Amino acid sequence: MPGSASLVDRHGRRIDYLRVSVTDRCDLRCTYCLPADFKNFDAPAHWLDHAEMARLAGLFVGLGVRKLRLTGGEPLTRGGLPVLVRALAALPGLQDLSLSTNGTRLERHAAELRAAGVGRLNVSLDTLDALAYARITGRDCLGDVLRGLHAAHAAGFAPIKLNAVVQADTPEKELDLLLDYARRHGFILRLIEPMPVGRTGRGTTGIDLTELGRRLAARHGLVPSVAGSGAGPARYWSSAGQRLTLGVITPMSQHFCATCNRVRLGADGTLYLCLGWQDSVPLGAMLRQGASDARLAQAIVAAIAAKPERHDFNTHPERIVRFMSQTGG
């Protein structure tokens, strides 16, 4: 198998981070992600089973990927997830295994996931207002998410990052409340600009978060800092001793494509090279057609070499018709 230097694209970026979607299904219908009436999910038979996912992920790790994140859809809707987690956590060379979730099912799964090998969590939480939460997500289940966060903290997850998508009409006072909540519980809060992925994404208006981040940081006594794990896309401010950390992720106003280190694997094994392009490689189909590990590794290396330089969301927002849950968060 080619060495770790193989996963360097033609723009000189080392790809060491793979996001693995275990399902395209979700139990929420966030206004910027999925239409309320959406039912066109992939058939579960098309999803890779846990052994197939672990095989592909293992090839990426063998080629130099050091970070894996399990995503969806909502990954906790996929049965038997700890089985996959244990297989991934045992991969030689893997340094970081994390999971993104909306938190609705986290209370009953947190301890088992932590014991299986997940180290870090990102939890979607746009507001602490129950009515606003129900309006954004389509479900009155904020209490489930907050109990899930409590269970995750008790299970020993660290850090726990709260991801809040900020829309143009998001009241700034709600972000202050989220910051206060993060301070009380030792969480990291990250504000994210929505992207025009699918018609729901294109129908969501965001704002430039850089100035908003600076304003919130000044109000809460935070200063610019380096936080998080690795060279991620967020820019951070922290308090003394990093008891409170705020980050902003700005894919639209100040894109970070020059340092992009990630690709995404869909639930059916499709490799997506960039959120802003249709480019993909059907690794799952190749695997099920009998491709050897060597052939799959060659396809991965060739795909990384062709990774686009940057997204074109600002000039061609209509380019991506698939919804975010169909790509992997």
295-326 pLDDT, tens digit per residue, is 999 999 999 999 987 555 555 555 555 556 66
Position 37 scores a pLDDT of: 83
How big, in percent rounded to 5, are the helix, strand and coil portions of the chain? 35, 15, 45
Domains in the chain: ranges and CATH: 4-327 (3.20.20.70)
Taking the C-alpha atoms of residue 48 and residue 144, their distance in angstroms, rounded to an integer, is 29
Please give the mean pLDDT across all residues of the chain.
Answer: 89
CA distances from 96 to 88, 245, 248 (A): 10, 21, 22
Q: What's the token pair of residue 35?
A: 């239409």
Q: Is pLDDT larger for residue 213 or for residue 308?
A: 213
CA distances from 32 to 3, 166, 294 (A): 39, 10, 39
Residue with tokens 């939480």: 125
Taking the C-alpha atoms of residue 221 and residue 162, their distance in angstroms, rounded to an integer, is 19
Position 4 scores a pLDDT of: 45
- Do residues 277 and 318 make contact, with C-beta atoms less than 8 angstroms apart? no
Please state the pTM of the whole predicted model.
0.91
Helices (H), 138-208: 142-155, 172-185, 198-202
Q: Is residue 230 predicted with pLDDT exceeding 60?
A: no
Of 12-21, 119-128, 313-322, minimum mean pLDDT range: 313-322
- Which tens digit of pLDDT belongs to each residue from 68-83? 999 999 999 999 999 9
Per-residue confidence band for 22, with pLDDT thresholds at 50, 70 and 90: very high
Position 220 scores a pLDDT of: 96
Position 320 scores a pLDDT of: 52
Q: Is residue 260 predicted with pLDDT exceeding 90?
A: no
Share of residues in the chain with pLDDT > 70 (%) = 87
Helices (H), 100-141: 106-116, 130-137
Taking the C-alpha atoms of residue 241 and residue 162, their distance in angstroms, rounded to an integer, is 19
Q: What's the token pair of residue 254?
A: 């100040």
**Residues facing 282 on adjacent strands:** 270
- Do residues 327 and 263 make contact, with C-beta atoms less than 8 angstroms apart? no
Position 258 scores a pLDDT of: 78
The stretch 259-287 carries a mean pLDDT of: 91
Q: Is residue 198 predicted with pLDDT exceeding 50?
A: yes
Position 38 scores a pLDDT of: 81
